[in-house]
């Protein structure tokens, strides 16, 4: 990835290795079309790629991701669709240079620019008023640091007028989208932890997930309260 190679030139001590601890967890490297993809086992929702009409990984720069997303929108403008578009540059710049770096700020600006291009394409196709857009993040960074062991605050930007509350957690994102697609959330097993944004959520006790994280390692975290294991992955 060009942008990552450029970042490494600025910080030659950075070591990005997505294969760390991979085989210990039962994962594997899949080679396809000249690209190496990390496949890691987990709960059913971690294997979602097998159920998508189009699943593309490894495009790298935001520019490439957005160009492909816009091309796919053009192809599917006559059909109902769900798109997940991952713009990852702030994450990598944050880990390489830190939360207070100009590179991290530039990564955020890049995400803003290219997500705006997707929205403009929806408008040009006459689809924006019929499409719900949720701009979400998975984590922030500890102030002045390159890690996010305690960075609990994230945000959601949306054009969904039915959003009924200003607070929530990442657990609420999946039920929000699934409900919009007409699924009966009460029939989903295992039960979802969150609540749709168009419903008032009950008072909830914080359910933090702790992990030891360094240079994009991942691990299984025991959740004793629910007697489950969740795969925490930093990629």
Sorted by sequence, the CB contacts under 8 Å of residue 79 that are 6+ apart come out as none
Question: Range of 106's domain?
Answer: 2-232
pLDDT at residue 227 is higher than 50? no
Question: Per the structure block, which two tokens stand in for 10?
Answer: 């600025």
User: How many folded domains does the chain comprise?
Assistant: 1
| pLDDT at position 114 | 97
Q: Give whichever of 36-50, 64-78, 144-158 has the largest mean pLDDT.
A: 64-78
Model confidence pLDDT, tens digit, residues 90-138: 999 999 999 999 999 999 999 999 999 999 999 999 999 999 999 998 8
E strands in 109-169? 134-136, 156-158
Neighbour tally for 59: CB within 10 Å: 17
Q: Is 43 exposed, middle or buried (0-12, 13-18, 19+ CB in 10 A)?
A: exposed
Buried b / exposed e along 198-213 (16+ C-beta atoms within 10 A): eeebeeeeeeeeeeee
Mention every residue, 6+ apart, whose C-beta is less than 8 A from residue 195: 168, 172, 175, 201, 202
CA 35 to chain centre: 21
Asked if residues 216 and 17 have their Cβ atoms less than 8 Å apart, the reply is yes
28-32 and 35-39: which strand pairing?
A: antiparallel
Q: pTM to 2 decimals?
A: 0.70
- Residue 216's pLDDT is 42
Segment 154-199, tens digit of pLDDT: 788 899 988 867 788 888 999 999 999 999 999 988 788 899 999 9
Structure tokens at 11: 């910080």
* CATH code, domain carrying 115: 3.40.720
Collapsing DSSP to helix, strand or coil, 207 comes out as coil
Q: What is the pLDDT of residue 110?
A: 96
The phi, psi pair for 135, rounded to 5°, reads -100, 115
**CA atoms of 168 and 180, how far apart (whole Å):** 17
The least confident of 95-99, 126-130, 147-151, 212-216 is 212-216
Where is 192: in which H helix or E strand?
none
């Amino acid at each position: 990835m060009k942008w990552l190679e450029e970042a490494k030139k600025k910080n030659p001590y950075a070591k990005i290795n997505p294969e760390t601890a991979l085989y210990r967890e039962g994962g594997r490297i899949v080679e396809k079309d000249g690209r190496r993809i990390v496949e890691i086992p987990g709960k059913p929702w971690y294997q979602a790629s097998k159920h998508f009409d189009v699943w593309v990984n490894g495009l790298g720069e935001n520019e490439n991701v957005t160009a492909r997303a816009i091309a796919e929108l053009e192809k599917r403008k006559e059909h109902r669709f769900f798109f997940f578009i991952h713009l990852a540059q702030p994450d990598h710049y944050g880990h390489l240079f830190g939360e207070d770096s100009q590179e991290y700020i530039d990564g955020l600006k890049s995400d803003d620019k290219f997500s705006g291009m997707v929205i403009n394409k929806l408008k040009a196709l006459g689809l924006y008023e019929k499409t719900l857009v949720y701009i979400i993040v998975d984590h922030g960074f500890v102030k002045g640091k390159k890690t996010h062991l305690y960075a609990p605050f994230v945000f959601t930007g949306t054009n969904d007028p039915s959003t009924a509350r200003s607070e929530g957690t990442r657990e609420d994102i999946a039920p929000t989208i699934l409900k919009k697609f007409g699924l009966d959330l009460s029939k989903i097993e295992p039960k979802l932890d969150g609540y749709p944004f168009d419903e008032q959520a009950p008072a909830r006790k914080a359910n933090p997930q702790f992990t030891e994280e360094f240079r994009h390692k991942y691990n299984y975290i025991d959740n004793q309260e629910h007697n489950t294991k969740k795969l925490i992955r930093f990629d």
